[in-house]
Chain A
Amino acid sequence: MLEIRNLHARVEGKEILRGLDLVVRAGEVHAVMGPNGSGKSTLANVLAGRAGYEVTDGSVLYRGRDLLALTPEERAREGVFLAFQYPVEIPGVTNSYFMKAATNAVRRHRGLSELDAIDFLTLVKQTMKDLEMDEKFLSRSVNEGFSGGEKKRNEILQMLLLEPTLAVLDETDSGLDIDALRIVADGVNRLRSPLRAVLAITHYQRLLDYLVPDRTHVLMNGRIVKSGDRSLALELEKRGYGWIERELGAEAPA
């Protein structure tokens, strides 16, 4: 589904990704872990097409197509969803209006009929109930005045409404208490299917307790330096990243 080859990317002239390779197949959940500044958020933003993230080399194939050639909204409509680390506030635009507009933009693109106000409300209210979100969030402005946890839940709500094929979670677990973490993870698990994939970028392994990944990767200095299964995440939790650095240091030519 997603094939990243030798990806190099720069932000404000500084090279952050330096030859990243990653392959995610349909039906899989991958976790990408790494220390601060390793390039985790850059990877998420490059996949979503944020301006200012300049790809200097390499390729990204998404369902066989060149993902990098698409505009951000085309990527979204094609099923790439980014759950933002810091969702922006949009004053004056109500959450329900925003989500309906987005849902219908995506549905139109997929050749589905648009949802009318009533169908949409029924859908969104049910989904909110599953996420234990208060309905008052529908009438509030997008993310405005939401707590950190509320914002993250709102991201997962949108993800469930847009039914993406590839969901990229950018530190969606940070700042969540244990209950919220479980709810968010349940939401992501609901999305799991043989046709979909999830790329969970995270700092901690605790999300992975709920969201058991098929593969775990370690991102350092802009490259995937180690891949393994679930146990790698646990090891990282226990031992930190230093041992990998040392391992790499030993391997690296002097």
Chain B
Amino acid sequence: MRGTPAELAFARHFAAARVAQASREPAWLARHRAESFAAFEAQGLPTAKHEDWRFTSLAKLEQIEFTAGGVDASAPTAELIAASRIALGPAHRLVFVNGCYAAQLSSVGALPPGCRVAPLSALLGSDGEAVERVLASAAEPKRRALVDLNSALWSDGVLIELEPGAVLDRPVHLLFHQSGADAPVGAHVRTLIAAGAGSRGTIVEQHSGETRHPDLTNAVTEIRADRGAQLDHVLVQDLPEQSTAFSALLSRQEAQSRLGLHAFTLGAALARAEVESRLEGEGAELALYGLYLGRGTQHPDQHTTIDHAAPRTNSRELFKGILDERAHGVFHGRIHVRPDAQKISADQTNRALLLSDRATINSKPQLEIYADDVKCSHGASIGQLDDEQLFYLRARGLDLATARALLTVAFASEVLEKLPHDGLRASLERALLGWLPSGGGA
């Protein structure tokens, strides 16, 4: 640690939480938190010297003294929460405000047999072992400052456990909401997903808020998919434009499992969305899709690593970015094929659309291959809307703004159409239209 105001505030937060949690939390967890914080202290907040942070500076964030949140600061109304929601329809819904579970705003409903969905805070009282079983099971032993910070400070979160063969009847909707506090809040939340063999389900994780402070959301999600499990996870980050959003999605897959990850980075001044996926069992398949938007001085940073650690594993990755005004987008995608992981097929694509001359994109696809019987490819392209297509639409009577909006949505549609849920797809498409400079025109 270099002793920046933010780091010192995290240390105060940790010290205070330690006292408060001492009576409520089991000893193993206290130990885990202490080890994690020590690891964070050893690393400190990442700087641009770190190759993985070359294009993303935390200099501003370093100056902010985040406080631990609390649900009672000024509890948002149910209406506000409802307004920020994406139209998901019936779902098992859990709402968290400033990192704490808000039971009165949630509606978990009846769960199908073999499915467990519960806030961690509640589980620690009743079945702490379940949390211990799953926590950090998807994380690599590798240290990452922000994940360690989350491990030390998480205030609440969710455990989703699907027993072998269990099937979620409707999506689980996790809404993490930042609400008006007196000072910048740093909320650290943890989502643990353990999908047993052959289980199936869809989980939607949404980060939203309404404060005027530069709040921080630091979310870590761990997914473990056992043999033959089929899971879709959708992450929608739609925080207010002055906040910072860190998310880390760590997944591990067993043989024949299929995981669909969908990451939408729409809001926040600075967003760092990390995905780290490991395919550990033969025949595991991963599909990773992402859409990131930036305007004003927004800085969306997508950082993905796919680790093929077993033979006959497949991955397909597609990210699309749309950058306007002075936004600075970053895409880092690494595909790693380990020695002896033969018969691999991996395909990665990042396409970025620059709508303004002052927008910037840094694209850094990487292939690191240590096995020979592989078919790996990546493609990256950066460009703008096609003049001929624009002209064609205008020749058919559309005005320029509408034509641009139409083509921009078309650009994004390849990612949108992969969503496993119609309502979700429609609401994200609306969000995109609303985001466009013309207000969509159409």
- A–B touch (CB < 8 A): the answer is no
Give me the interface of A with B, judged by CB distance under 8 Å: none
